[in-house]
Structure 1
C-alpha cells in the first residue's frame, strides 16, 4: 500500500509539472526511458514510430492515421453482461496503413493462407528490418486474455527470428520472445504482414479533414452512423441519463455485476484500450501543435481532461472499482517492464478482478448514488463534445 501511495505521488507530481492527465502521466512514468520497443502513448502509433526508427514523432503518426474519433456500441450476448465498447482513436479505417499512406512512406502489405509461404516471406522481409504483423492478441501470453470473445486482431512488430524464437515489439520496453510455433499459431488467420520502405511526404490537411469529417459524420453511410462521432457522444449521454428505457444504463446495467463490468469497461476504453489515455485527445493535441494548430490543440487537451474525468468517476464509484484501478496500473507496469516474463502475473490479475466483481455484487452501491453518477458522467460527456465541436470549427476555418 505504501508503494502504491508513493507511485501515485510521483504521478501527481508529474501532472503538476506537465499538465498531463493522471492516466497519461501514469503511462509515461511507467515507460519513461530510451526504448526501441514498446513505450509510447498509444499502441499502434508507438509501434509504427519504433518500426520507422524514429523517422517521425508518435503524435505526428497518430495524426496522420486519422487522429481521434468516437465509436460507441453496446453488444448483447446470451450468458454475458452487455458489452459496451468505445473506440477513441480514428475508426474504422485501418490505422497503420492509413498513417503510412498519408505519410507518403512506401509500404507493402501481403496476406496468405499458407503458413509455409508466410514464414518464408517473413524471414525474407526481416533482412530489410522490422516488419509489422497482425496476430490474435488473445494468443500472446503476456496479455493474459482468455479468448472467450474470439480472435482479437492486434499489430506487433517482428524484430527478428533467433533459432526457434521470434522477437516481438509489443508494449514491453524490451523485445518479447515467443516460440516460433506459438507465433505462427497467433498469426494463422491471414498471415497479414506489412513492410515499410523509404519516403516522407505527409498529407496533414487530408488527415485533419478526415478527423473532422468523421467526428461530424457520416462515417459509414448507413444506420450505424448514429454510433459515431458527435452523434455517438450524444447517444452515450442520452443512454446514461435514461432512467427507464430498455437501452438506458439504469435498466441495462441494473444488476451489480453488470454495473461493475460496464464501469470498468468505460474506464478501460477511455484510458487503456482502443486508443490512448484521455480518449487519445492529448496525443492528437500534440499532433496539432506540431503542425501549427495550437488553438484547436488547447480545446482537445481540455476535452481529454473531461474524458479522463469520466474514466476516473467510473472507477471511483465503489471501493471494489477503486481497487480495480490499482490492478490496471499493475497490469500496465507488467506489460511495459516484464512482458513475456510477467505473463503468469498478468493472468493472475484476472482472478483478482473476478474477486472484486464478487465484492461489488455482495455490497452494491445505492440506486440514488448510481443515478447521480450516471447524470454526472453524461454532463462530462456533453461538455467534452461541446469543446470538440468548437475545435472542429476552428480546424475547418469556420
Structure 2
C-alpha cells in the first residue's frame, strides 16, 4: 500500500478535525475514507465557537453594538472575575483545564500573586510516574503507557492540594444536575463536569472505549447552547440535552460537577506543606518506597522505575510469550499497538511531551519560590534532561516499522528505556535526599 511521506502529519491533522484516534485517522487516510458527518459537524462547531468568541471580543472593543443582556445576573464590580483563558499550549490536560478554571475564579499562588500555573497544579496532582501494560484481545493487542502520576486520584489531589474552595456535587437526577450547573454559571464561574467520551456529539463513539471518561469545563452560554472547553483550543457548543446524555452515561460519580465559588487562595504555609506532601508521594511511587494503593502486589513491577526496567526486559525478550517480539508478531497488531503507544506518549491525558518531565522541572523551579524550599531548584535540571530523553524514546516509536525488523526496533527502545530508568533513579534518589532535609519528620 502506497504511503504518503508525511503520513504522520496528515494523520494528526485529521485527528484534530475528526476526533478519530491516530490509528483510525491513519487507516482512513490510507484507504481514502472520507471524513464522516460527525467530523463535518465538529468542524462547523469549532467555526461557530470561534465566531461566538470573535463577537464577544468585538463587543468589548466597541466595534459592535451590544446585544440585550443575558438573563443571568452579572457579577458586581467588586466581584468581577478575570476572563476565561484560552485553552492553548497545554502540556497536561487536567492540570491545564483546572489552571484555566482557577484563573477565571481569581485563585492565585500566594508566593507570587499570579494565577496557579499548569506546572504547579500538575505537580500538586502528583506530577510524574510510570505504568506499562499490554492486553491481548481477539482482534487487537493493546499497549498502554502512563507517564503521569498513577494510580493516585490525580484530579482529586489537585483540587485538595490547591487550597482553593471547591464546590463538588453528584446527583442521580439529571434535572437536579442541570440546576446545579445553572447556579454555578449564574455566578459567573466555569463548571467542570465528567462525561463519557463516546457520548459527545463530536466524537465517533465506535473509536473510544465505552468506559472512557473526560472532564470538561462549561464556561458559559451562547443562545441555546452551552460552550465547552474540551482542551481542543476552541470552545465547542453543545446542547443541554446532549451534555445531560453524556453526563448520564458516567455511572460512577453520576452527574459529578465541581466549580470554584470564591477567590479564596491557599495560605503560603498551606501551599508549602502541600507541595512537600506531593513531591514526597511522587518520589516514593517512582522509587517503589511508597505503597501503591489498590494495586495487587504482583503488578507492582509494572509501576515506577521498577516498571521501566520490566518494560526494557520485555522489549529485549525475543523468545518467550511475554516478550514484545512475540506479543506483536502479527503485523496488524504491531502497527496498532505501536500507534497506541505513541498516542499515549504524545497525548496530554495520561502522558505528555517529554513524559511530562519538563513540566515537572518547571514545577520544582516554582516550588523553590516558596519559603524554605529553595533547594528544590537544584533538581530541576535533572528532570529537564529527562524530558529530552523521553522525547528521544517517543521519536523511536514507529507504527510503520517493517515487522521483520521489529526486534531491532524494540532493542533500541529497550536501550533508551534503560538509560531513562537509570537517570530517573539518580534524579529521584537525589531529590529524596533533599526532601529528607526539608521535611525531617516526614
Query: Are 2:301 and 2:310, in contact at CA under 8 Å, matched by a contact in 1?
Result: yes
Q: Deviations over 1:334-388 (max 9, x none)?
A: xxxxxxxxxxxxxxxxxxxxxxxxxxxxxxx152x21111011011111111111
Alignment counterpart, residue 267 of structure 1, candidates 338, 342, 346:
342
Q: 2:96 aligned with 1:52, yes or no? A: no
Matched with 1:124 is: 183
Distance 1:114 1:271 in 2: 37
1:199 paired residue number? 265
**Is 1:96 aligned to 2:146, yes or no?**
no
Matches within 5 A, 1:150-165: 150-165=210-225
How well do the aligned residues superpose, as a CA RMSD in angstroms? 2.5
For residues 238 and 265 of structure 2, the distance between their equivalents in structure 1, rounded to whole angstroms, comes to 31
Runs of 5+ consecutive residues of structure 2 not aligned to the other structure: 1-5, 10-82, 105-114, 369-375, 435-442
Q: Which residue of 2 aligns with 1:258?
A: 333
Give the corresponding residue for 1:359.
none
1:37-81 Cα offsets, whole Å, 9 max, x none, are 32222111110110011621111111111101111112232x231
> Are positions 1:303 and 2:379 aligned together?
no
Residues 35 and 195 of structure 1: CA distance in aligned 2, closer, same or farther (over 3 Å) = closer
Query: What is the Cα deviation at residue 148 of structure 1?
Result: 5.0
Superposition pairs of residues 379-398 of structure 1, within 5 angstroms: 379-397=415-433
Larger Rg: 2
Post-superposition, which runs of at least 4 consecutive aligned residues in structure 1 deviate over 6 A?
none
Kindly report which structure 2 residues correspond to 1:102-141, keeping only aligned pairs within 5 A, or say none.
Answer: 102-128=161-187, 129-141=189-201
- CA distance in 2: counterparts of 1:141 and 1:118, whole angstroms: 20
The structure 2 residue matched to 1:208, chosen from 279, 288, 292, is 279
Q: CA, structure 1 residues 149+163, in 2 after alignment: closer, same or farther (shift >3 Å)?
A: same
Equivalence for 2:92? 42
Instruction: Work out whether 1:244 is the aligned partner of 2:304.
Output: no
Residue in 2 that maps onto 1:290 = 366
Secondary structure, aligned partner of 1:187: helix
Closer, same or farther: CA 304–143 of 1 in aligned 2, 3 Å = farther
Aligned residues: 324
After TM superposition, the structure 1 = structure 2 runs for residues 161-200 of structure 1, keeping only pairs within 5 Å, are 161-188=221-248, 189=250, 190-196=254-260, 197=262, 198-200=264-266
**Would you say 1:277 and 2:350 are equivalent positions?**
no
Contact map agreement 2:201 2:242 (CA 8 A) in 1: no
**Contact 1:296–1:392 (CA<8 Å) still a contact in 2?**
no
Distance 2:412 2:142 in 1: 21
Give me the whole-angstrom Cα distance separating, in 2, the residues matched to 1:86 and 1:122: 34
1:19-98 matches, within 5 Å, as 36-39=85-88, 40-53=90-103, 55-77=115-137, 79-98=138-157
State the alpha-carbon separation in 2 of the partners of residues 175 and 366 from structure 1.
41
| 1:180 positional shift | 1.4
1:361 is matched with which residue?
none
Structure 1 length as normaliser, TM-score? 0.76
Contact 1:43 1:275 in 2 (8 A): no
Q: Is 1:235–2:235 an aligned residue pair?
A: no
Distance in 2 of aligned mates of 1:256 and 1:93: 35
Task: Answer 1 or 2: higher relative contact order, Cα 8 Å, separation at least 6.
Answer: 1
For 2:103, what is the secondary structure of its paired residue?
coil
Q: Quick check: 1:267–1:310 contact (8 Å CA) kept in 2?
A: no
By percentage of residues, which structure has more helix? 1
1:323: which partner in 2? Answer: none
Alignment partner, residue 312 of structure 1: 395
CA-to-partner distance for each residue in 1:89-124, whole Å, 9 max, x for gaps?
Answer: 112222222112112111132211211111111111
